[in-house]
Structure 1
Amino acid sequence: MTYLPNDCYDSYRSVDLEARAASASPYELVLVLMDGLLDELARARGHIEHKRYQQKGQSLEKCMNILNGLNGALDEDNGGEVVQGLARLYEYCIYRLSDVSVSLSLEGLDEVVHLLTTLREGWEGVRAARQ
């Protein structure tokens, strides 16, 4: 079986992600997912820029799956306004990525990256405060 450089990198990323997730606290797990999400968004950008539309679709699908997973893990019964706000943000990002998939709008992709980078910084602050 012939491995392309992307295959090797994807295998490494998968093993690294599994190792990080296995030893992560809930806050660290969110950060691991956010890091993976931001990495995949960067890949989606490259696919759009280089007109690799099939790979773009795969990358955006992965991103939307991660966002759906984060949204599904929210404790809506006990989280109050913060959880409601996170749910709306995740849903908005999914909506924007669906639009980006059709429109190929790098501005829309950049908007999602900006929102999620800001959110990741917030999660980093929560993790630091809990340690």
Structure 2
Amino acid sequence: MTSSHRTGGEEELAAAKKRLGLPHIVVICGSTRFMAEMAEADLRETTAGRIVVKPGCDLKSPHALWSDPVEAEALKARLDDLHRAKIRLADEVLVVGDYIGDSTRAEIAYARSLGRPVRFTHPEVDPK
């Protein structure tokens, strides 16, 4: 990660969002086994007036776009990068579900390294 993600770039992004009058942006993180819970969290956050971004693909569910294992591995890497970009964009992270796997743990650590507040639907799973 370059320092611009933590210094000037972050400050510029925050200033631009403020200038544009954007509502608070929440990124949803968690295992894709909790897609239904993520949809519910999206609904609740949206009705509270927040912009919500979340995982858009569930690689655990069959789909032609990731049916080839080699393609699926490459897609997973691209989606991980995309989700880190969503975390940089967001003002806050909401972790959904009562299980924290390696990917979600890494996302939480990344968010905290950027100074993003992290909320949990199940606070007992916070890896702190």
> So what's the TM-score if we normalise by structure 2?
0.36
Structure number with higher strand proportion: 2
Higher helix share: 1
When the two structures are superposed, what TM-score results if normalisation uses the length of structure 1? 0.35
